[in-house]
Chain A
């Protein structure tokens, strides 16, 4: 079961679209577990939120074995600085773990038109699949049409696909089948 927890206010239509998409992608039931307050402890001096700390401090929700929890927020996330610089943070997940975080901060504005809303929803679905994929031990994929392709890649189109490619889908299905429950 995938449990979606919102750390900001999201449109119910967006959450419904996301739930359906996640179910289609992983074949696992999805539900909205409610909205929780954003943990302010993770905020840095520059106003951004440390992605690792935010996920650590995120309010827990009731979950069972093999459940995955997806937190949605809209704040600017920060990753730890790497040897070549800081990669842009669209979210964070614990590889093979149980919790993932997605931020809509870098998305194109939701807007009010059907087209812009559609693009926003698709992007939300893509990033959610991406970080949930990490929970099932998926790595980044070189295929720009796969949801596991890095979110900042220059090869990614403006309105990227929100599906897994065959390899990643097979791998995630294997992992899900191997789950204890």
Chain B
């Protein structure tokens, strides 16, 4: 068996063009065009159709799969988003063969990453992306047998690749597959005339999978919240609205650690110095950092703070079931936060502990 990296390249290193040809608009399509539907195969556009669906008149592109004649209707508005592309040109296909024949890279060993990448490549990577999947799984199969799911993916991606090559070069499928395997595993003693392969398209993935950069606003929120907590705990400054926001977020996340920490802090809160409470709040802090990102609308809920105290007691605690960490922290300190902390006793049982000592202190 030929080992990865053993293959020699020809001395000429001529760049082969990379693949492309994505159809950006439905106006690019006309009857008779051959297009590739990602993960489906090669289709031929048969025409535009109008249909009444749910009282709306919609326009569709009708396509039929060349392989088996299966028919597909794609709404005109969706043409640009489903990743339709032109059948690869002969130049593109040549690049694919040079890519397949090039030396093997190390296969991705993390199956989750590998699976995600492979799916993205099949959807958005063009014919070279499909070739990447085939080559990647083929090189992995040299290390160990593929698991069942990946074996199927290997087979289906090979089918897509062979199908597109056969359409593009105008040769039967079996011959196209021979070409693919001739590049992947050439017979002993054969030196392939390889050029520098095209660079595969760098995939960014679908929008919902991309990592979002941390927004400046979120950072600000986090910073303020942290500051507010620290100040409130250490210097006895009322945290007010910020505190209530955090408590809501904590609840929405179901943060057990912060609640536990608050309870621990609350029990000895009567006599103990604020330092301990501060420590308790700090233990709960990591959970708070995560929370703001998932609960941005919190500031709205904080608005009731401006209302008269009576209203606060009626409304604010009613929304918040039991926010122990916040109530615990201010209660230990000084009078102003204790006022805000007062309402909870009416509602949640766990909140009683921190509140009572606060009243005692006041008196």
A residues within 8 Å of B by Cβ? 52, 79-80, 82-85, 87-89, 92-96, 134, 139-140, 142-144, 150, 152-155, 167, 171
- The answer, among B1, B98, B177, B179, for a CB contact under 8 Å with A154, is B1
Indicate if B155 sits at the interface (CB-CB under 8 A). Answer: yes
Which of the 9-residue segments B80-88, B125-133, B183-191 touches chain A?
A: B183-191
Indicate if B104 sits at the interface (CB-CB under 8 A). Answer: no
Indicate if B204 sits at the interface (CB-CB under 8 A). Answer: no
What is the distance, in angstroms, from B330's C-beta to the closest C-beta of chain A?
65
Indicate if B301 sits at the interface (CB-CB under 8 A). Answer: no
Whether A143 and B179, one on each chain, are in contact in the complex, defined by CB atoms closer than 8 angstroms, is: no
- Digit string of B157-181 for contact with A (CB within 8 Å is 1, else 0)? 0110010000001011111011111
Whether B101 and A84, one on each chain, are in contact in the complex, defined by CB atoms closer than 8 angstroms, is: yes
CA distance A128 to B174 in the complex (A): 14
Give me the 7 closest cross-chain CB pairs, A-B, nearest first. Answer: A95-B173, A82-B179, A87-B182, A87-B178, A142-B141, A154-B188, A155-B1
* Chain B residues whose C-beta falls within 8 Å of the C-beta of A143 in the assembled complex: 141, 145
The contact sample of 16 A-B pairs, CB cut-off 8 A, is A52-B172, A82-B179, A83-B93, A83-B94, A84-B101, A84-B179, A84-B183, A84-B186, A84-B193, A85-B193, A139-B155, A140-B177, A144-B1, A152-B187, A153-B187, A167-B148
Whether A95 and B183, one on each chain, are in contact in the complex, defined by CB atoms closer than 8 angstroms, is: no
Whether A167 and B179, one on each chain, are in contact in the complex, defined by CB atoms closer than 8 angstroms, is: no
CA distance A140 to B162 in the complex (A): 11
* Chain B residues whose C-beta falls within 8 Å of the C-beta of A80 in the assembled complex: 171, 175
Contacts beyond the supplied A82-B175, A85-B192: 6 A-B pairs with Cβ under 8 Å: A84-B192, A87-B179, A139-B177, A140-B180, A140-B181, A153-B185
* Chain B residues whose C-beta falls within 8 Å of the C-beta of A93 in the assembled complex: 174
Whether B181 and A153, one on each chain, are in contact in the complex, defined by CB atoms closer than 8 angstroms, is: yes
Whether B138 and A83, one on each chain, are in contact in the complex, defined by CB atoms closer than 8 angstroms, is: no
Whether A87 and B155, one on each chain, are in contact in the complex, defined by CB atoms closer than 8 angstroms, is: no
* Chain A residues whose C-beta falls within 8 Å of the C-beta of B142 in the assembled complex: 142
* Chain B residues whose C-beta falls within 8 Å of the C-beta of A92 in the assembled complex: 174-175
CA distance A155 to B3 in the complex (A): 10
CA distance A172 to B116 in the complex (A): 29
Indicate if B347 sits at the interface (CB-CB under 8 A). Answer: no
CA distance A38 to B138 in the complex (A): 38
Chain B residue with Cβ nearest A95: B173
Within 8 A of A (CB), among B242-296: none
Majority SS of interface residues in chain A?
Answer: loop
* Chain A residues whose C-beta falls within 8 Å of the C-beta of B145 in the assembled complex: 143
Indicate if B151 sits at the interface (CB-CB under 8 A). Answer: yes
Whether A82 and B181, one on each chain, are in contact in the complex, defined by CB atoms closer than 8 angstroms, is: no
* Chain B residues whose C-beta falls within 8 Å of the C-beta of A150 in the assembled complex: 178, 181, 185
CA distance A129 to B193 in the complex (A): 32
What is the distance, in angstroms, from A165's C-beta to the closest C-beta of chain B?
9
* Chain A residues whose C-beta falls within 8 Å of the C-beta of B175 in the assembled complex: 52, 79-80, 82, 92
- The answer, among B97, B138, B151, for a CB contact under 8 Å with A82, is B97
* Chain B residues whose C-beta falls within 8 Å of the C-beta of A79 in the assembled complex: 175, 178
* Chain B residues whose C-beta falls within 8 Å of the C-beta of A140 in the assembled complex: 158, 177, 180-181
* Chain A residues whose C-beta falls within 8 Å of the C-beta of B306 in the assembled complex: none
Whether A84 and B187, one on each chain, are in contact in the complex, defined by CB atoms closer than 8 angstroms, is: no
CA distance A88 to B172 in the complex (A): 16
CA distance A93 to B154 in the complex (A): 21
What is the distance, in angstroms, from A162's C-beta to the closest C-beta of chain B?
19
* Chain A residues whose C-beta falls within 8 Å of the C-beta of B155 in the assembled complex: 139, 167, 171
* Chain B residues whose C-beta falls within 8 Å of the C-beta of A153 in the assembled complex: 181, 185, 187
* Chain A residues whose C-beta falls within 8 Å of the C-beta of B146 in the assembled complex: 142
What is the distance, in angstroms, from A94's C-beta to the closest C-beta of chain B?
7
* Chain B residues whose C-beta falls within 8 Å of the C-beta of A85 in the assembled complex: 182, 190, 192-193
- The answer, among B172, B183, B186, for a CB contact under 8 Å with A94, is B172
CA distance A154 to B3 in the complex (A): 11
Indicate if B2 sits at the interface (CB-CB under 8 A). Answer: yes
What is the distance, in angstroms, from A49's C-beta to the closest C-beta of chain B?
15
* Chain A residues whose C-beta falls within 8 Å of the C-beta of B158 in the assembled complex: 139-140
Whether B174 and A154, one on each chain, are in contact in the complex, defined by CB atoms closer than 8 angstroms, is: no
Which of B145, B169, B173, B178 has the most chain A CB atoms inside 10 A of its CB? B178
CA distance A163 to B205 in the complex (A): 40
CA distance A47 to B345 in the complex (A): 100
Whether A83 and B2, one on each chain, are in contact in the complex, defined by CB atoms closer than 8 angstroms, is: no
